[in-house]
Chains A and B, each alone.
Chain A
Amino acid sequence: DTGVSQDPRHKITKRGQNVTFRCDPISEHNRLYWYRQTLGQGPEFLTYFQNEAQLEKSRLLSDRFSAERPKGSFSTLEIQRTEQGDSAMYLCASSNSIIGRLVSNYGYTFGSGTRLTVV
């Protein structure tokens, strides 16, 4: 297990179509995050899971977006009825939850992302 894998790397779709992205996190990580990044901006939080539970969802995420992590392992992010404004890089990251400890080398491991272009 060498890191976080995302599939596909690139997706071009027509407006109105549905798309689904997959993320395979680092196997021992219990937390999985989805972020969206547009050109020149920092990653924006979309949602995160601890194991199979979706614990938080951004207000940025419209009803057209849904994410699942059915067995606490891989996750999927689906966008229904895509719009041109959905064009972005969708990043997945994973981490371990550590409560009550101060860890100096603890952070997210990001995947390479899925670049979505809606035409």
Chain B
Amino acid sequence: GQQVMQIPQYQHVQEGEDFTTYCNSSTTLSNIQWYKQRPGGHPVFLIQLVKSGEVKKQKRLTFQFGEAKKNSSLHITATQTTDVGTYFCAKGGRNTGFQKLVFGTGTRLLVSP
């Protein structure tokens, strides 16, 4: 299938430590999105990456799109307990209009105070 793999599946960190999740695809991605899902909640859109090598920042979150557009990463600096949740990458369709998204397997983050 066209599944997008994410590693690690789960990570438990102490508050203040950094965290990174990686998203890998066997095929070239036209674009990728990242979502956060809090426990018991629904996915919430974080960002979209389109260009090869693109790096975008949102406060403590840094998103990267690989040069070959086959992988992406999300890095959180100095985690806080509010960062707890599952982070999903999702690959979009051929056009930027996004006919549909295929979600990755997710990385569950637990942050201890």
Contact = CB atoms under 8 A, between A and B. Distances in A.
Name the residue among B42, B48, B88 with the largest chain A CB count within 10 angstroms. Answer: B42
B78 interface: no
B97 A42 contact: no
Contacts of B97: 97-99
B100 interface: yes
B42 A108 contact: no
A33 interface: yes
A43 B56 contact: no
Contacts of A111: 42
A34 to B, nearest CB: 10
Given A42-B88, A111-B42, A113-B42, A105 B47 contact: yes
B interface bracket (residues with beta carbon within 8 Å of A): 20 to 34
A48 B99 contact: yes
Query: What range describes how many residues of A lie at the interface?
Result: 20 to 34
A37 B104 CA distance: 12
Contacts, number: 72
Interface string A91-106: 1000101111111111
Given A42-B88, A99-B96, A101-B96, A108 B45 contact: yes
A41 B88 CA distance: 10
Q: Which of B41, B48, B104 has the most CB of A within 10 A?
A: B48
B59 to A, nearest CB: 15
Interface string B44-87: 11111011000010000000000000000000000000000000
* Most chain A beta carbons < 10 A, residue from B45, B47, B98: B98
Contacts of A105: 47-48
A112 interface: yes
- For the complex of A and B, the 4 pairs showing the least CB-CB separation, nearest first, are A107-B45, A42-B103, A110-B42, A97-B97
Interface of A: 31, 33, 35, 40-45, 48, 55-56, 91, 95, 97-113
Interface of B: 33, 35, 41-48, 50-51, 56, 88, 90, 95-106
